A and B are shown apart, each in its own frame.
Chain A
Amino acid sequence: MKARRKWSLTNTFLNSPKFVPYLFVSPFIIAFLLFYLYPMISTIIMSFQEIGFGEVSYVGLANYEKLLNKHYLSALMTSTSYTFWTILILIPLPLVLAVLLNSKHTRFKNFFRSSLFMPALTSVIVAGMFFRYSFGENPQTLMNSLVGLFGIEPIVWLQNSTPAMIGLVILCTWRWLGVNIIYFLSGLQGIPDEIYEAAAIDGANRWDKFRHITIPNLKPVIIYVLTISVFGGYKMFAESYAYWQTATPGDIGMTIVSYIYQVGFNNFEMGYASAIGITLLLIVLIINLIQLKFFGLFKKEGE
């Protein structure tokens, strides 16, 4: 009898129309409060503090003033130019490849699609280790023998900033090319054939079709890929860690997140590291808001 009443109690509780929706969304509410909101507030507070061993003192904007040093500026530069180059390569190249893979005339489509996607399955560390040792300074390493084919002298890849950036961008291109191709392919498949046929009747050539049909129709996908690339670019850390760990000679390859890691976990300057984190958040938000405004994503198409 007792057990039965208990059962019916929980049953009405679980079915009360007022309460049930909250049960469904409760995992998010709990995770939001505990793992997002609390750390967020905590990192903002920490950014105004100096945190020593056991003692904490309020230091106003001192952590933010500290940002004007060559390490931070160099990390900011590295992250910015990495983001810039990855976007410059990882939007047009996969777009063109997706168009090729979508064409009726292309053969072995499945093979190409799968092989181009395969690198995305490797962890950054595995990919990073491979490229780290391919970019060795010896003349016979993979990359140096490759540039050797074009008559270029062996390059000291990972110790100079320009070749190091090339190395990072190659790693990123290798891992993400296939993923972006898939995004664009799925967008392409949503464009009806009739539009192309109509354009062909009007005498449009391949380039006209690409410019006036493909690109405008793919705009939502392009904006999506652009947005995730800005995030991906600015929070890059593992790639740089795989190449240099935390000891980057002359800050080569040190990104904003590597700088946070270095300052926070190696130097234990938690307050300063938090201030760096806040700037990263602001940078990413500002770039994306500008970008979304510019491309008009706020005018959302109906769901």
Chain B
Amino acid sequence: MIYDINDHPLPAFLIDETLTILSQSENAAKAFSIHSSFLDLVDFDSRDKAVRMLSPSQDEVELELVMNTVQSPYSLFQVFAKWSSGVGQIVCVRQDDRIEKLSTMLQKQRERLADTNFDLLDKKEELEAALMKIKKLSSPFLPISNNMGIIPLFGELEKELFLVNELNLLQILNNGKYERVILDFSGIGEIENSGVLPLLSFCSMLEVIGVSVVLCGLKPNHVLQLMKYDFELNQNFEVTGTLKDAVDYYLKQSFT
């Protein structure tokens, strides 16, 4: 049985190196009408690609081209080409509009998601800003004498509390030539695991700039949590004592 391109179930062509059509299937003639050059079927913007890709040097190739059919002058085709002895066999498979529909739907959904996404982003940014504000207000510095001040801490003791405030506090203490600072824990609920090391490093930094740290108002659960991390304190004052006692104790000490 001899193969006859005329009966090919798809638009198929035999072309030479100059892309001149040697013969074509019945389906090809129906889809594109009769042309002498394969390039005549290809949309203007796809021609460079067709010339580059449809050559014997490419041997076997699969590519997308926009082609001008009788039905529609701008259709996407998957084109398969195979060369032997300077003759190229070409089969064109029309890409139906399902992908187009799909991409339109995708686009619509993405737009809707993006809208929601942006609203949420707005809220998230607002929340983050509010949270930062709260954190900033959660460790104010209160000077009580020329060389001593208090930092009352509030909320949960966690990493962020120090991240947000430590630089600012260090600058105040350093510029004000303070010698002692009392960290008051009465307003702290829980000491989170993430907060212990930053607290330690904050205390070390204070020591480095010559400020002695005193902790007060610690609850038993705070102490337990700090003990887990070998937290060492170098203070005579009882850490579980109240802020009032700490202030009394150190103010008296500075007058003696």
Chains A and B come from one and the same complex = no
What is A's interface to B at a CB cutoff of 8 Å? none
What is B's interface to A at a CB cutoff of 8 Å? none
